[in-house]
Amino acid sequence: MSWIDLLRMSGSNLKRRKLRTFLTVLGVIIGTASIVVMISLGLGLQESLYQEVENSGGLTSIKVTGANAGDSMVSYSSGDSGEESKKYINDQVISELSKIENVTIASPVYEMWVNMIKGKYEGNGQLVAMTPEGLVAKNIPLAEGKLPASGGSTLEVVYGNGIPTMFYEKGSGKSYYETMELPDIDFIHDSIFMILDQDGYYNSMGSGMDMGGDENGGQQAKSNTVQKHVVRACGMVQGGPDEYNANYYYIYCDLDTLKQILKKEFSGRAIPGQPTTKSGKPYKEFCYTYAQVNVDDIDNVDKVAAIIREKGYNVETNAEYLNSMKSQFAIIQAVLGGIGAVSLFVAAIGIANTMMMSIYERTKEIGVIKVLGCSLKNIKQMFLLEAAFIGLLGGMMGNVLSFLMSAVINFLTRQGATSMGFSSNISYIPPWLVLLSMGFAMLVGVIAGYFPALRAMKLSPLAAIRNE
pLDDT, tens digit (0-9, with 9 covering 90-100), for 122-163: 999 999 999 999 998 888 889 989 999 887 778 999 999 999
Based on the fold, state whether residues 108 and 250 are members of the same structural domain: yes
Please state the φ and ψ torsions of residue 256, each to the nearest 5 degrees: -60, -40
Please state the φ and ψ torsions of residue 10, each to the nearest 5 degrees: -65, -45
pLDDT at 189 > cutoff 50: yes
Based on the fold, state whether residues 389 and 454 are members of the same structural domain: yes
| C-alpha distances in Å from residue 337, one per residue of 185, 278, 315 | 47, 59, 36
The average pLDDT across 68-93 equals 59
Any domain includes 317 = no
Of residues 87 and 262, more confidence is placed in: 262
What is the residue range of 366's domain? 3-53+324-466
Of residues 459 and 112, more confidence is placed in: 112
Based on the fold, state whether residues 127 and 178 are members of the same structural domain: yes
Based on the fold, state whether residues 17 and 144 are members of the same structural domain: no
Based on the fold, state whether residues 69 and 148 are members of the same structural domain: yes
Of residues 320 and 418, more confidence is placed in: 320
Any domain includes 159 = yes
Based on the fold, state whether residues 90 and 34 are members of the same structural domain: no
Pairing of strands 167-169, 121-130: antiparallel
Based on the fold, state whether residues 328 and 288 are members of the same structural domain: no
Confidence band (pLDDT; 50, 70, 90) for 223?
A: very low
Our count of domains for the chain comes to: 2
Based on the fold, state whether residues 30 and 100 are members of the same structural domain: no
Based on the fold, state whether residues 333 and 289 are members of the same structural domain: no
Based on the fold, state whether residues 36 and 80 are members of the same structural domain: no
Considering 83-87, 235-239, 345-349, 447-451, the range whose residues carry the highest mean pLDDT is 235-239
Any domain includes 259 = yes
Q: What percent of the chain clears pLDDT 90, i.e. is strictly above it?
A: 26
Any domain includes 244 = yes
Look at residues 281, 296, 311 and tell me which one is the last residue of a structural domain: 296
What's residue 254's pLDDT? Answer: 94
pLDDT at 17 > cutoff 70: yes
The average pLDDT across 410-432 equals 70
| C-alpha distances in Å from residue 255, one per residue of 135, 141, 460 | 10, 19, 88
Any domain includes 342 = yes
What's residue 371's pLDDT? Answer: 65
Confidence band (pLDDT; 50, 70, 90) for 211?
A: very low
Any domain includes 301 = no
pLDDT at 7 > cutoff 90: no
- Please state, rounded to an integer, the average pLDDT across all residues of the chain: 80
Confidence band (pLDDT; 50, 70, 90) for 347?
A: confident
The average pLDDT across 176-182 equals 87
Any domain includes 309 = no
What's residue 64's pLDDT? Answer: 92
Residue among 317, 405, 435 at smallest CA distance from 80: 317
Based on the fold, state whether residues 220 and 351 are members of the same structural domain: no
- Residues near 432 by beta carbon (within 8 Å), at least 6 away in sequence: none
Any domain includes 413 = yes
What's residue 400's pLDDT? Answer: 94
Look at residues 246, 281, 296 and tell me which one is the last residue of a structural domain: 296
Based on the fold, state whether residues 74 and 45 are members of the same structural domain: no
What tens digit of pLDDT does each residue of 80-90 get?
A: 444 555 688 99
Record the pTM: 0.65
What tens digit of pLDDT does each residue of 243-256 get?
A: 888 888 899 999 99
What's residue 69's pLDDT? Answer: 57
